[in-house]
Structure 1
Amino acid sequence: MKKKIVLFKTDVSSSLPLQFADEGIRAGFPSPAQDYMEQAIDLNKEIVKHPASTFYGRIVGDSMRGDGIEEGDILVIDKSLELVDDDLAVCFIDGEFTVKRVRLETDAAWLVPSNSEYPPIKVTKDNNFIVWGVVTYTIKKNRRKR
C-alpha cells in the first residue's frame, strides 16, 4: 500500500447551476427532440447529500482500475454512511489510506482491489483498521490528452 489518496474538504457554500439535459442523453441513436435545455442542475446538491461529512479524494495508483477508477479520478466520500458488504470505501489500515471494495465475513473483512496485480488484504482484529468513508460517486476526466 505505497500509494495514497489525497483528501479535500467539500465546499458547498456556493451554487453553480448548469444546464441539464433532463430527458437524458441517448447512447444509441441521437434524438432531435431536445433543441434547448431549460432545466438546471447544481452538482453540489446532486452529489453531496451530507455536506458536513463529505470529502473529496483524488486517486493515486491503479489498484481499482477494473472498477473504472483510475489515477487522477476524484472520489466523493461520505463519512456518515454505514458500510454495507461490497461497498467501495476509503479505509485506514495500519497507518495508511486505501480505497477498495470491502467484503465482510464473520471473523474478518477483505479489502479487495479490482486490479489482479494487487492481492486482497485480509483485515483481522490485529490490524489498526477503520472505514473512513463510503464512496458515493467517482468523477473522472474523459477527454484524452492530445
Structure 2
Amino acid sequence: MAQHITSGIEILSTARPIGEATVHGRMVKQPAGAAPSRQPTGFPSPATDHLEDVIDPVGWIVRHPGASFWFVVEGDGLKGQGILDGDLIVVDRAGTLRSGRVAVCVHDGMFLLKLVKRDSTGRPWLFSDSPESRERPIPFNEGTIVEGVIAGVVRRCPIG
C-alpha cells in the first residue's frame, strides 16, 4: 500500500527491514553480493590489485542495517537532487539530519520526502527541488518528525 505525498512523490507506507524491498507491488530479496567476472589473459595487471572478490552494493549503501528501510519513489519532486521517479531509496534512521540533505519526514500527519535547508536564523524548512515544482517551502513545526535521511539511491537503467 502506497501513500501519496504532497510533493508528488510516493513512498511505501509500510517500512520493511533491510533484506526485503517491495518493487512495483512485489516483494524482492536483496542480493548478498555478486562475484565479479575475471578473465585473466597474460600476466596479472597491478592495476587490479585493489579489486575485491565480492561486490556488495547494498552493503555499501546501507550503513546501519537495523535502522534502514527501502522505499520506491514516484514523481520528480527531487529531480535537482538526482532522485527520480521509480528510484529505490534507502532511508537511514541513524543518519544525521543536516541542512542540504534529503529526508523522509512526517509533517502535519503526512509523509514527505524533501530537501531540508536551514534559514539564516537556523530554522529548518522542507523544500522540493525540481525546476517544474511550484511548491512553497514548508517550515518545520512542533509536529514535524524526521523519520530518517536518504542514505542512497538505486536506479534501474534501460538496457534494450
In the alignment, which of 107, 121, 127 is matched to residue 112 of structure 1?
Answer: 127
Which whole-Å deviations, capped at 9, do the CAs of 1:6-65 have from their partners, x for residues lacking one?
Answer: 1432128986321349xxxxxxxxxxx87xx87211233222111110001111222111
Equivalent position of 1:8 in the other structure: 16
Structure 1 unmatched ranges of 5 or more: 22-32
Equivalent position of 2:40 in the other structure: none
The verdict on how the C-alpha distance between 1:129 and 1:39 changes in structure 2, with shifts beyond 3 A counting, is same
Which whole-Å deviations, capped at 9, do the CAs of 1:70-90 have from their partners, x for residues lacking one?
Answer: 111010110011211111111
Distance in 1, matches of 2:56 and 2:125, equals 36
Cα contact 1:19–1:38 (8 A) shared by 2 = no
SS in 2 for 1:66: helix
Cα contact 2:9–2:77 (8 A) shared by 1 = no
SS in 2 for 1:115: coil
Distance in 1, matches of 2:155 and 2:97, equals 23
Cα contact 1:5–1:58 (8 A) shared by 2 = yes
Cα contact 1:75–1:136 (8 A) shared by 2 = yes
Amino acid at match of 1:130: I
Q: CA RMSD in A?
A: 2.8
Q: Please report the TM-score for the alignment, with normalisation by the length of structure 2.
A: 0.68
In the alignment, which of 20, 34, 37 is matched to residue 18 of structure 1?
Answer: 34
Equivalent position of 1:28 in the other structure: none
> Any residues of structure 2 matched to 1:52-67 within 5 Å, and which?
52-67=66-81
Amino acid at match of 1:9: P
Q: Please report the TM-score for the alignment, with normalisation by the length of structure 1.
A: 0.74
Equivalent position of 2:144 in the other structure: 129
Amino acid at match of 2:17: K
Amino acid at match of 1:72: G
Distance in 2, matches of 1:86 and 1:104, equals 8
Structure 2 unmatched ranges of 5 or more: 1-5, 21-28, 38-46
The verdict on how the C-alpha distance between 1:66 and 1:94 changes in structure 2, with shifts beyond 3 A counting, is same
Q: CA deviation at 1:107?
A: 5.8
The number of residues matched between the two structures is 131
Equivalent position of 1:30 in the other structure: none
Which whole-Å deviations, capped at 9, do the CAs of 1:93-118 have from their partners, x for residues lacking one?
Answer: 11111111100233632111111323
Distance in 2, matches of 1:72 and 1:15, equals 19
SS in 2 for 1:98: strand
